[in-house]
Amino acid sequence: MHSDHSSPSAHRSELDIDEREDQVDPDFNPLTGIGVKLALASVVGMVILALVASVVFTRRLEASYREAGKAQLTSVAETWKQTFSIRVLETTPERVQRRLDAIREASPTLHKINVSWRGEDGKFRYVQSGHVHDTNGAKLDVTTETARVVSPGTKTPFQEGQKDYTEVQAADGAHYAELNEPVLRRGKTRAMLELHYDLKDLDIALARDKRTVLVASVLAAVTLWLFSLLFITRGLVQPLARLGAATRRLGSGDRGHRLGWKRRDEIGMLARDFDRMADQLDAAHEHLETLALTDPLTGLLNHRAFNERLEQELRRAERSPTNVSVVALDVDKFKEVNDAFGHAAGDESLRQLAEVMRRHLRPGDLCGRVGGDEFCLALVGATAAEAEQVIERLRQEIMQTEAGPSKTRFTISAGIAQFPVHGLGRDEILSFADGAMYWAKTSGRNRTCIYTADSAVAMSPEEQASRVAAQGLVNTVHALASAVDAKDGYTSLHSERVGLYAAALATRLGYVGDDVETIRTAGVLHDVGKIGISDSVLQKPGKLTAEEWDIMRRHSELGRDIINGAGMPAIAELVLHLHERYDGKGYPAGLAGEEIPLASRILHVADMLEAMTSSRVYRPRLSTQDALDELQRMRGTQIDPMVADAMIELVVSGQVIVPDQDSEPLPASA
C-alpha cells in the first residue's frame, strides 16, 4: 500500500558510511596496538632463538674440533708405536733422536715429541725434539742430541704415566694439546710417548666456522621473524582491522554489511559472532523502525511517517510531473461509539475500518492514521476527480461494514486537495484537504468534498482561534527580540542585520524560498532568550566570571523555549545551536563540525560579523576589514570554514554591505 523510496539524504548516508569505513578510532594508538606488541614479542623471541642456536652450534663445533685434534694426535701416536722398536732405545738412541727430528720437520703442528723409558741399569732416560712454553710465557727449545738420563728431582713422562688428551693455554697465548701414550710390549709399558700438538690452525678454522654459524643463525632468525610477522599480520592484525572497519560500518548505519568468513579459528568464531550480532541488530532495527513509522493500533503509517512519505511523493511528482491527490478523512460520530461501548470496542472498529481502506488503495498509495479517528490518504497519479471516485467506493463499503463488537455501521467525511493544482507545499495541501473535509462535515457529514476557494474558509472555530493565537505569539516574540537589542546594548537594527546577513549566506550556500525566510527569521529572533538574562550580566563592561558565563549560556535554551512556544519549532532548533563551535567547544550541547545544523552555523557567522562591527559597552566596534580578518583567523576552530569563506566573499564582493557606523540604516535591499 505504501512503498519505500530512497531519498538524497539516504544516498549521502551511504557515501558517508564508505568514507568512514577506513577511518581509525581517534583513541587508537598504533604504537600500543596488538600488531606492534606481537611484532616486538616475535623480535625478542627470534633474538633469543638466534642466541640459543648460536651457542648450541658453537659448542658442537668446539667439540668437533677437539675431537679432530685428538684424532690427529692419537693417529700420530699410533703410527709411531706401530713402527717403533724397543731395542733401539738401548742400542742406538741416536736413531730415535733423528727420527723425532724428522717427524717434527715433517709435521710443523707437532711442537714437541718426547720418548722416555727405563734402561736396563734402572735409570730413566729420554730423547725429545721441539720446544715448550714455560709459566712465564717464554718459548724454550728442548731438542736433545742423544739420550739423556733424568736428573734428580725431575720426572719423565714414563714416570708420570699415561695422560689422556688435554688442551693447554700457554702464558704466551699458544694453544696446544698434550697426550702421553704408553708403548706396550707383551702387556707391559716399555716406553712413554709424549706429544704436544699445536691447535692454532684448528682455532682459526673454528673461529671462521663460528662466524658462519652466527651469521646463519641471524639470517635464519630474521627469516623466521619475517614469516611470523607475515603470519601475524595476515592471520590476526588484518582480520582484526577488517572486523573493526565492519563494526564502524555497522555503527554508521550500514546494516547489510556482513563478514561471511569461513575460518575455523578464534578469529572466525569472532567474525561469526559479529554476523549474528549484526543480524540481531538488523532485526531489532527493523522492528524499531516499524514501531517508529507505524501506528500500533491499525498498522498504517503514523502521523510523522505519513508526512515524511507524502513530502517524498510530492517532490517526486514535482520532477515527473504528475498529480497527487491528498485526502483528509474523518469517521463521523466516532466519539459516540467510544462513549457507549468503551475504547476497546472503538479500537477494534478502527482496525476494521483501516483494513477496508487498505483494500481500496493501490500499492503505491499512502494511508496513515493521523489522529484518534482521523486518517490521511495520498493517491499517487490521481486527479481530484479520480480520487473522489475511489473515496466514494470506500465510503459506500464502510457504510455496509458492521465494525467492532458493537456491529456499528459508520460513515465518513472526506476532503480532497490536488497537487499541484491546489497547492505546491505539503503543509498547504494538507491544510486545504483538511478544510475541504471540515466543509464536508459542516455540510451534513457522510460526503466527500474537493477543495475550492469557498472551502478554504471553512475552518473550525478552534482552528481559527489557534491561528489567531499563534500569530499573536509570533508578534510577541518579534517584539521581545527588539526589546533584547536595546537591553543588550546593541543598536535597534542588530537583529535585523543578523537576519539579513544570514539570509544572504543561506542563499549563497544553496538555500531557496521558504528555507531562506526561515533562516532570516531565526537571525532576527536569535537573541530573544536574553530577555531572561540580568542587565548586570548583559551590560557588564568587564570580563564575565565563570558563574556569569553559566547564566549567559542559558539564553540559548531559553530562546529555544520561547520560540518553540510561539509555534516555530524549526526556528527554535536553529537558535538553540547558534553558539555551538566548529571545534566542539561551544554550548549548549558541545556539538562539533557537521553535527551542528548548517543553518545554525550560518547564523553563528552572521551574528559574529554583526557583533564585531557593532559597539558594545566593553569594547568599540571593529572595522570591516578587521572583522573579516577575525573570521579568517577563527575558520576551522570557532566557525565553519566553508561558511566563513562564503561570508568573506559576500562582503568583499559588495553583495553584503557592512555599515561604517553603529547608527547606519539598513540598505534598501533588506
pLDDT score of 413: 92
Q: Which of 233-242, 338-347, 580-589 has the lowest mean pLDDT?
A: 233-242
Q: Under a CB-based contact definition with an 8 Å cutoff, are residues 65 and 57 in contact?
A: no
Structural domain ending residue among the three candidates 198, 230, 258: 198
Q: Under a CB-based contact definition with an 8 Å cutoff, are residues 533 and 480 in contact?
A: no
Backbone angles phi, psi at 379, to 5 degrees: -100, 105
- CA–CA distance, 592 with 604 (Å, rounded to integer): 13
- CA–CA distance, 501 with 495 (Å, rounded to integer): 10
- CA–CA distance, 380 with 579 (Å, rounded to integer): 43
The pLDDT of residue 633 is above 90:
yes
Q: Which of 261-265, 491-495, 639-643 has the lowest mean pLDDT?
A: 491-495
Q: Clarify whether residues 520 and 586 are in a common domain.
A: yes
Report, as an integer, the average pLDDT of 267-281.
Answer: 77
Kindly provide the residue ranges of all beta strands, DSSP E only, lying in 64-202, ordered along the sequence.
Answer: 110-118, 124-133, 139-141, 148-149, 163-169, 175-185, 188-198
- CA–CA distance, 555 with 11 (Å, rounded to integer): 37
pLDDT score of 535: 66
| pLDDT category of residue 539 using cuts at 50, 70 and 90 | low
Place of cell 706429544: 195
Q: What is the pLDDT of residues 70-117, one digit of tens each?
A: 787 788 788 777 777 777 887 788 888 888 888 888 888 888 888 988
Q: Clarify whether residues 428 and 491 are in a common domain.
A: no
Specify the length of the chain in residues: 670
Q: Under a CB-based contact definition with an 8 Å cutoff, are residues 332 and 445 in contact?
A: yes
pLDDT score of 373: 87
pLDDT score of 655: 86
Backbone angles phi, psi at 293, to 5 degrees: -105, -10
Place of cell 702421553: 180
The pLDDT of residue 380 is above 60:
yes
- CA–CA distance, 348 with 557 (Å, rounded to integer): 43
Structural domain ending residue among the three candidates 198, 228, 257: 198
Kindly provide the residue ranges of all beta strands, DSSP E only, lying in 353-407, ordered along the sequence.
Answer: 366-369, 374-380
Q: Clarify whether residues 365 and 511 are in a common domain.
A: no
pLDDT score of 10: 38
Structural domain contains residue 322 = yes
Cα–Cα nearest to 180, from 191, 159, 164: 164
Report, as an integer, the average pLDDT of 184-206.
Answer: 83
The pLDDT of residue 604 is above 90:
yes
Structural domain ending residue among the three candidates 163, 198, 233: 198
pLDDT score of 65: 75
The pLDDT of residue 509 is above 50:
yes
- CA–CA distance, 627 with 620 (Å, rounded to integer): 12
Q: What is the pLDDT of residues 329-369, one digit of tens each?
A: 999 888 888 888 888 888 898 899 999 998 888 888 999 99
| pLDDT category of residue 453 using cuts at 50, 70 and 90 | low
| pLDDT category of residue 602 using cuts at 50, 70 and 90 | very high
Q: What is the CATH number of the domain that holds 371?
A: 3.30.70.270
Q: Clarify whether residues 542 and 406 are in a common domain.
A: no
pLDDT score of 556: 80
Residue 168 grid coordinates: 693447554
Q: Which of 39-53, 71-85, 114-128 has the lowest mean pLDDT?
A: 39-53
Report, as an integer, the average pLDDT of 221-246.
Answer: 74
The percent of residues in the chain predicted with pLDDT above 70, rounded, is: 81
- CA–CA distance, 394 with 353 (Å, rounded to integer): 10
Q: Clarify whether residues 365 and 487 are in a common domain.
A: no
Residue 116 grid coordinates: 722416555
Report, as an integer, the average pLDDT of 388-397.
Answer: 92
Structural domain contains residue 122 = yes
Q: What is the CATH number of the domain that holds 514?
A: 1.10.3210.10
Q: Domain range spanning residue 631?
A: 466-652
- CA–CA distance, 57 with 246 (Å, rounded to integer): 49
Give me the long-range contacts of 264-273 (CB less than 8 A, separation at least 24): 267/235, 267/236, 267/239, 267/240, 267/243, 270/243, 271/239, 271/243
Residue of higher predicted confidence among 519 and 265: 519
The pLDDT of residue 478 is above 70:
no
Region of residue 407 (left: phi > 0; alpha: psi -120 to 50; beta: else)? left
Q: Which of 8-17, 355-364, 594-603, 631-640 has the lowest mean pLDDT?
A: 8-17
The pLDDT of residue 670 is above 60:
no
The pLDDT of residue 477 is above 60:
no
The pLDDT of residue 181 is above 80:
yes
Report, as an integer, the average pLDDT of 241-260.
Answer: 72
Report, as an integer, the average pLDDT of 639-660.
Answer: 89
Q: How far is CA 433 from the centre of its chain?
A: 49
Alpha helices (H) along 401-534: 426-442, 453-456, 461-487, 494-508, 513-525
The pLDDT of residue 574 is above 80:
yes
Q: What is the pLDDT of residues 611-630, one digit of tens each?
A: 888 876 667 888 889 989 99
Structural domain contains residue 262 = no
Contact residues for 244 (Cβ-Cβ < 8 A; gap 6+):
25
Structural domain contains residue 643 = yes
pLDDT score of 601: 93
Q: Which of 194-203, 236-245, 296-305, 661-670 has the lowest mean pLDDT?
A: 661-670
The pLDDT of residue 377 is above 90:
yes
pLDDT score of 156: 85
Q: Clarify whether residues 507 and 644 are in a common domain.
A: yes
The pLDDT of residue 240 is above 50:
yes
Q: Clarify whether residues 394 and 474 are in a common domain.
A: no
Place of cell 472551502: 455
Please report, as a single letter, which amino acid is at residue 53: A
Structural domain contains residue 323 = yes
pLDDT score of 11: 38
Structural domain contains residue 210 = no
- CA–CA distance, 355 with 165 (Å, rounded to integer): 109
Q: Clarify whether residues 477 and 432 are in a common domain.
A: no
Q: Clarify whether residues 608 and 494 are in a common domain.
A: yes
The pLDDT of residue 540 is above 60:
yes
Q: Clarify whether residues 374 and 434 are in a common domain.
A: yes
Rg, Å, the chain Cα set = 52
- CA–CA distance, 634 with 644 (Å, rounded to integer): 9
pLDDT score of 406: 82
Q: Under a CB-based contact definition with an 8 Å cutoff, are residues 588 and 556 in contact?
A: yes
Structural domain contains residue 393 = yes
Residue 234 grid coordinates: 595476515
Q: What is the CATH number of the domain that holds 163?
A: 3.30.450
Q: Under a CB-based contact definition with an 8 Å cutoff, are residues 612 and 498 in contact?
A: no
- CA–CA distance, 472 with 551 (Å, rounded to integer): 29
163-177, 239-253, 257-271: which has the highest mean pLDDT?
163-177
Q: How many domains does the chain have?
A: 3
Structural domain contains residue 280 = no
Residue of higher predicted confidence among 414 and 6: 414
Q: Clarify whether residues 401 and 470 are in a common domain.
A: no
For the chain, what is the mean pLDDT? 78
Which letter, b or e, does each residue of 608-629 get, where b requires 16 or more Cβ atoms within 10 Å of its Cβ? bbbbbbbebeeeebbebeebbe
Q: Clarify whether residues 315 and 430 are in a common domain.
A: yes
